Amino acid sequence: MYPQLKRGEVVANREIAPGIFLLGVRGKFAASPGQFYMLRAWELDPPLFRPMSVFALEEEAISFLYEVRGRGTGILSRLSPGEELLLLGPLGRGWDPPARPLALVAGGTGIAPIHFAAQIYGGDAFLGFRGKPYLVESFADWCRAVYVASETGEGGTKGLVTEIFRPEGYRTCFACGPEGMLRELYRLCSEAGVPLFVSVEERMACGLGACLGCAILTSRGPRRVCADGPVFPAEELWGDG
Amino acid sequence: MADLSVRIGEVALKNPVIAASGTFGFGAEYAPIFDPGILGGICSKGITREPREGNPPPRLWETPCGLLNSIGLENPGIEAFVREVLPRMLGLGTVVIVNIWGREPEEYVYMAERLDMTEAHVIELNLSCPNVPGAGLPGAVPEKVAAIVAAARAACGKPLWAKLPPEGDLIGAARAAAEAGASAVTVANTFRGMAIDIRSRRPVFSNVIGGLSGPAIKPLVLRAVYEVAKEVRVPVIGCGGIVGWEDAVEFIMAGAHAVQIGTGSFIDPLCIPKVIAGLGAFLEREGIGSLEEVRGCAH
Ligand SMILES: Cc1cc2nc3c(=O)[nH]c(=O)nc-3n(C[C@H](O)[C@H](O)[C@H](O)COP(=O)(O)OP(=O)(O)OC[C@H]3O[C@@H](n4cnc5c(N)ncnc54)[C@H](O)[C@@H]3O)c2cc1C
Ligand SMILES: Cc1cc2nc3c(=O)[nH]c(=O)nc-3n(C[C@H](O)[C@H](O)[C@H](O)COP(=O)(O)O)c2cc1C
Ligand code: FES
């Protein structure tokens, strides 16, 4: 699946929780779980596209789940149905088919790529939210079981997702979320001997592996998040080898 | 189809549009989007004598119409480049310009000698990378430019382009490069800039400064190209903030023989093919036979 630059038409762009939007785009797109697109809905400024993981893929549509953080996501949030945007993708290397049983762990907007992984691979989902949970029903369509934690206790167990997740019994774990959560997860998974594959974020310019702007240092040397990732074995990022 | 071909000293380019160093990988990364063979030339990422891991993240910081980068010359080193990367670049069907950076003149000499044994078409001496901790900007000082270019000139038979910073004694540096045997000067690399994270109260980059590129710098670089083209007899290659074909025409009218495009490809992945097509359409519409007819016409 080579990346392509395409125009897409917005079919829906709904605020499903405060500051969190679900964007649906009409068109024929490709992606495998963990891959992302670079999005753009403006002319010259801001100069860069915005990387977004694929939330869901259908025959004639693709969707993204994003939080409004700054200018780019602010512009995206004001798009109305019928308006167009540019999409560059699919990009990066996602999650390969796992050994089962599979645990899917997500925090915040980290649920975007984890949702797409659930759509393709199934598994048990562990979802963490700051406040009121969203899109939990959508996971129930694809997963064997869905466990929810929220920091306020709304709609789930009060606390962090790493407090409700136990790796024992799983043969693979996929995760996406804030770095603190992923590192704690790595501690839990390595103690239990469960391989953990995480999707990470870094600032990007080209998205194609050309500029080295997104590189991070791993145990295998510098790796480009856009082309070698965004999914990496957690061991390569935080292992002490 | 209009004739866009240009000559930069000893090398002929099919058109004046070149992918700028560090923004186009080693040429194949953009192949899913367009055929890199349509380019006039491709500059490699900056290569050093030994492999380099580059700077820790963040390496990029967006600014209004601009981009700060602090990559720190991550590259596989000259030996791995020559053996594993260069053969693939030479298969892309365009002129291959190898961008090299050294801490000392001896490092440039070492790499120039190594490249002399290859089929690479041009060596671009990067005298202007702002992103290596502890290294200065030799390109800002005419004597240092003269020393590096002369040493590289003696070490190889390839055409040498000297890539200068937009800061310092630019005219003096460009003259020194020409006199020491450079067949062209690339004007310019990025401007040194910085950004501060007001929450952590620290510079965003570990190396404090970064290089500013993109449309934000275009008027500054256009002025620099105009002045160098007036004062120096070797061809000038304009580089800085080009996004549309009109920008490229401005640089040519300011006196540039060719242009390089970097950040433009991040703004629009199809920037390069659009600029090439736009230049062709411009010549036909205006009834201009070749770019030479308008080169430097703004003087
Ligand atoms: C592979 C990948 C997948 C992502 N998937 C999602 C997703 O599904 N949902 C979601 O809400 N967010 C996702 N992000 C983060 C998202 O790209 C940023 O939140 C977004 O770029 C912020 O843009 P802005 O203009 O609103 O913010 P600003 O802070 O104004 O952006 C300034 C610059 O910094 C960059 N930037 C800022 N924060 C980030 C970040 N966390 N990661 C990368 N670049 C950043 C921007 O792209 C821009 O170039 C993903 C990031 C990556 C790398
Ligand atoms: C991410 C990035 C990496 C770069 N790496 C190099 C490099 O390795 N060697 C070099 O000579 N210039 C490097 N440059 C500078 C560009 O080649 C170019 O001179 C500069 O970006 C100005 O042109 P632009 O405004 O079209 O981008 C880099 C620029 C960027 C943005
Ligand atoms: S964003 Fe350019 S290499 Fe990853």
> Residue ranges of the domains in chain B?
6-54+72-192+214-293
In order of their start, the domains of chain A are: 4-91 (2.40.30.10)
A47 neighbourhood in chain B, CB within 8 Å: 62, 65-67, 214-215, 263, 266-267
A204 neighbourhood in chain B, CB within 8 Å: 60
Residue B135 scores a pLDDT above 90: no
List for chain B the helix, strand, coil content (%; round to 5). 35, 20, 45
Contact B195, B63 (CB under 8 A): yes
Distance (Å) from the alpha carbon of B56 to chain A's nearest alpha carbon: 7
For chain B, give the mean pLDDT: 97
Q: Which residue among B24, B54, B62 sits closest to A48, beta carbon to beta carbon?
A: B62
The whole-number pLDDT of residue B129 equals 86
Query: Nearest residue of B to residue A88 by CA position?
Result: B269
For chain A, give the mean pLDDT: 96
A217 neighbourhood in chain B, CB within 8 Å: 53, 56
Nearest CA to ligand 2 atom 15: B189
> In this structure, what is the dihedral angle of CA atoms B126, B78, B13, B236, given to the nearest 10 degrees?
10
Chain A residues within 8 A (CB-CB) of chain B?
2-5, 44-49, 88, 202-206, 208-217, 221-222, 227
| Cα of B229 vs its chain's centroid, Å | 16
Residue A39 is encoded by which pair of tokens? Answer: 């999005």
Distance (Å) from the alpha carbon of A119 to chain B's nearest alpha carbon: 27
In this prediction, residues B241-262 reach a mean pLDDT of: 98
What one-character DSSP code corresponds to residue A109? G
Contact A205, B266 (CB under 8 A): yes
The whole-number pLDDT of residue A152 equals 95
- Count of C-beta atoms within a 10 Å radius of residue B37: 13
Q: In the structure, how many helices (H) and strands (E) does chain B have?
A: 9, 16
Contact B164, B185 (CB under 8 A): yes
| C-alpha–C-alpha distance, residues A173 and A147, integer Å | 15
The whole-number pLDDT of residue B263 equals 98
**Which is catalytic among the residues B43, B65, B129, B156?**
B129
Residue B108 to residues A224, B85, B123, Cα–Cα distance (Å): 27, 19, 10
The whole-number pLDDT of residue B231 equals 95
Instruction: Give the CA radius of gyration of chain A.
Output: 17
Q: Which class is domain B6-54+72-192+214-293?
A: alpha beta
Q: Is the CB of A90 under 6 A from ligand 1?
A: no
Q: How confident is the model at residue B132 (pLDDT cuts 50, 70, 90)?
A: confident
Strand partners, A83: none
Name every residue whose Cβ is closer than 8 Å to that of residue A187 and which is 6 or more positions away in sequence. none
Query: Residue for token digits 């063979």?
Result: B37
| C-alpha–C-alpha distance, residues B211 and B5, integer Å | 31
For every one of its 241 residues, what pLDDT tens digit does chain A have, with 9 covering 90 and above? 799 999 999 999 999 999 999 999 999 999 999 999 999 999 999 999 999 999 999 999 999 999 999 999 999 999 999 999 999 999 999 999 999 999 999 999 999 999 999 999 999 999 999 999 999 999 999 999 999 999 999 999 999 999 999 999 999 999 999 999 999 999 999 999 999 999 999 999 999 999 999 999 999 999 999 999 999 999 999 987 5
Pairing of strands B66-69, B60-63: antiparallel
ipTM for the predicted complex: 0.97
| C-alpha–C-alpha distance, residues A192 and A171, integer Å | 10
In this prediction, residues B140-145 reach a mean pLDDT of: 94
Name every residue whose Cβ is closer than 8 Å to that of residue B227 and which is 6 or more positions away in sequence. B170, B171
B211 neighbourhood in chain A, CB within 8 Å: none
Nearest to B93 by CA among B44, B132, B40, B154: B40
Residue B129 appears among annotated catalytic residues: yes
Distance A90 CA to ligand 3 centre (A): 14
| C-alpha–C-alpha distance, residues B4 and B248, integer Å | 12
The whole-number pLDDT of residue B183 equals 97
User: Which residues line ligand 3 at a C-beta cut-off of 6 Å?
Assistant: A 204-207, 209-214, 224, 226-227
pLDDT in tens, B268-282: 999 999 999 999 999
> Which of B34, B99, B217, B266 best tests the A interface by mutation, with the highest count of A CBs <10 A?
B266
Strand partners, A61: A26, A58
| C-alpha–C-alpha distance, residues B158 and B156, integer Å | 6
pLDDT in tens, A56-93: 999 999 999 999 999 999 999 999 999 999 999 999 99
Query: Residue for token digits 């779980």?
Result: A33
The whole-number pLDDT of residue A195 equals 98
The whole-number pLDDT of residue A148 equals 97
Q: Which atom of ligand 1 is nearest to the CA of A69?
A: 26
Report CA torsion sign: A45, A3, B270, B186: positive
Q: Which residue among A47, A213, A222 sits closest to B267, beta carbon to beta carbon?
A: A47
pLDDT in tens, B54-94: 999 999 999 999 999 999 999 999 999 999 999 999 999 99
Contact A122, A146 (CB under 8 A): no
pLDDT in tens, B177-189: 999 999 999 999 9
Burial of B172 (0-12, 13-18, 19+ CB in 10 A): middle
Distance A52 CA to ligand 1 centre (A): 7
Q: Which atom of ligand 3 is nearest to the CA of A227?
A: 4
DSSP per residue, B119-184: ---EEEEE-----STT---GGGSHHHHHHHHHHHHHH--S-EEEEEPSSSSHHHHHHHHHHTT-SE
Residue A18 to residues A14, A21, A131, A134, A161, Cα–Cα distance (Å): 11, 8, 10, 10, 20
Q: Is the CB of B163 under 6 A from ligand 2?
A: yes
Residue B82 to residues B12, B44, B48, B163, Cα–Cα distance (Å): 23, 11, 12, 21
Contact B202, B225 (CB under 8 A): no
| C-alpha–C-alpha distance, residues B283 and B276, integer Å | 11
